[in-house]
């Protein structure tokens, strides 16, 4: 990687890992620019939802490095109020997508995180699905992530998540378990320094500048970044599978009324159309010929 590329690091959608020598502490920084805007251009979310969804996408990107196998990781914030769901997904290839469900009347109220749940689902392409659920009691997405790691993984973790409605960024520090550390005070010192990050610094500074500003007295090791991008996994075949859940009679009614069935992917708004022969083909038992 050339110097010019690395100095403009935060214009790219990427995840970058770092670690501190002689400690058991590692960290990650993510920037979501084009991938965040790809989600926002497909939906007209109220600002409060757009900002929270950006933070959730950043949290998801930070967790994507933990996918060591082919598969998907989904983060959901489930809430009892007007905003019922914030969801962001990533794959081992760094592909991101996100969606929110909310009452149209919500407008621009404050979003409450009381009595919610944070749900982390990991779906390997091969093998067992894993799901972890942690209660959310106030706070924000970063606090919910920290609780999740404390309770489910017994890992001390800190998250700093920012979104200004145009870009999203995340910063994470994590203390790895059961490693000998010659620097007992490191966790307090490194997290206190990270607490001084201003939102605009996390959003706008490139990683090396930010890490130097925070940790110029530390022996820090910065690894090659990996790319992130918006990508939707929808396909006509997947939408067809979803349509069959409605049952033949309901699809038949729609076909009688309008001659075709129009559906859009709720994530990316890609449009798919099914005519009668295509619907009939979904129910082979009904059409033995
Ligand atoms: Zn889609």
pLDDT in tens, the chain (289 residues): 344 344 444 678 999 999 999 899 999 999 999 999 999 999 989 999 999 999 999 999 999 988 888 999 999 999 988 888 999 999 999 999 999 999 877 656 678 899 999 999 999 999 999 999 999 988 999 999 999 999 888 889 999 999 999 999 999 999 987 666 667 789 999 999 999 999 999 999 999 999 999 999 999 999 999 999 999 999 999 999 999 999 999 999 999 999 999 999 989 999 999 999 999 999 988 765 5
Cβ–Cβ < 8 Å for 38, 230: yes
Residues near 259 by beta carbon (within 8 Å), at least 6 away in sequence: 275, 276
Interval between CA 213 and ligand 1 midpoint (Å): 40
Using only C-alpha atoms, the chain has a radius of gyration, in whole angstroms, of 22
Interval between CA 221 and ligand 1 midpoint (Å): 38
* Environment class of 141 (CB within 10 Å of its CB; exposed 0-12, middle 13-18, buried 19+): buried
CATH entry, 236-286, from 3.90.1280.10, 3.40.190.10, 3.20.20.370, 1.20.1250.20:
3.90.1280.10
Interval between CA 251 and ligand 1 midpoint (Å): 21
Interval between CA 174 and ligand 1 midpoint (Å): 33
Q: How far apart are CA 201 and CA 208, in angstroms?
A: 12
pLDDT at 74: 97
pLDDT at 155: 87
Interval between CA 103 and ligand 1 midpoint (Å): 22
Interval between CA 191 and ligand 1 midpoint (Å): 38
Interval between CA 99 and ligand 1 midpoint (Å): 11
Query: Is there a shared CATH topology between the 7-230 domain and the 236-286 domain?
Result: no
Q: How far apart are CA 98 and CA 56, in angstroms?
A: 9
Interval between CA 97 and ligand 1 midpoint (Å): 9
Interval between CA 5 and ligand 1 midpoint (Å): 31
Interval between CA 272 and ligand 1 midpoint (Å): 10
CATH entry, 7-230, from 3.90.1150.10, 3.55.30.10, 3.40.800.10, 3.50.50.60:
3.55.30.10
* Annotated domain spans of the chain: 7-230, 236-286
Q: Which residues lie at CB < 5 A from ion ligand 1?
A: 232, 234, 265, 267-268, 270
pLDDT at 11: 72
pLDDT at 65: 87
Closest CA to 10 of 211, 215, 273: 211
Interval between CA 110 and ligand 1 midpoint (Å): 29
pLDDT at 1: 38
């Amino acid at each position: 990687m050339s110097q010019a590329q690395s100095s403009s690091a935060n214009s790219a959608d990427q995840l970058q890992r770092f670690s501190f020598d002689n400690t058991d502490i590692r960290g990650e920084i993510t920037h979501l620019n084009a991938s965040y805007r790809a989600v926002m251009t497909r939906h007209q979310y109220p600002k409060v939802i757009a900002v929270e969804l950006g933070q959730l996408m950043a949290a998801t990107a930070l967790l994507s490095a933990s996918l060591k196998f082919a598969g998907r990781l989904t983060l959901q914030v489930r809430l009892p109020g007007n905003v019922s769901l914030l969801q962001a997904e990533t794959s081992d290839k760094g592909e991101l997508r996100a969606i929110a469900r909310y009452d149209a009347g919500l407008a621009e109220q404050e979003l409450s995180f009381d009595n919610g749940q944070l749900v982390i689902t990991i779906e390997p392409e091969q093998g067992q699905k894993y799901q972890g659920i942690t209660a959310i009691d106030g706070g924000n997405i970063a606090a919910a992530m920290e609780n999740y790691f404390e309770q489910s993984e017994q890992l001390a973790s800190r998250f700093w998540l920012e979104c200004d409605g145009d870009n999203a960024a995340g910063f994470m520090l994590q203390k790895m378990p059961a490693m000998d550390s010659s620097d007992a005070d490191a966790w307090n010192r490194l997290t206190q320094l990270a607490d001084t990050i201003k939102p605009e610094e996390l959003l706008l500074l490139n990683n090396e500048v930010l890490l130097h500003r925070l940790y110029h007295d530390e022996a820090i090791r910065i690894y090659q970044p990996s790319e992130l991008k918006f990508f939707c996994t929808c396909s006509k075949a997947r939408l067809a599978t979803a349509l069959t859940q409605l049952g033949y009679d309901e699809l038949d009614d729609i076909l009688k009324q309008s001659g075709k069935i129009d559906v859009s992917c709720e994530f990316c708004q890609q449009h798919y159309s099914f005519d009668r022969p295509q619907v009939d083909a979904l129910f082979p038992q009904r059409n033995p010929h």
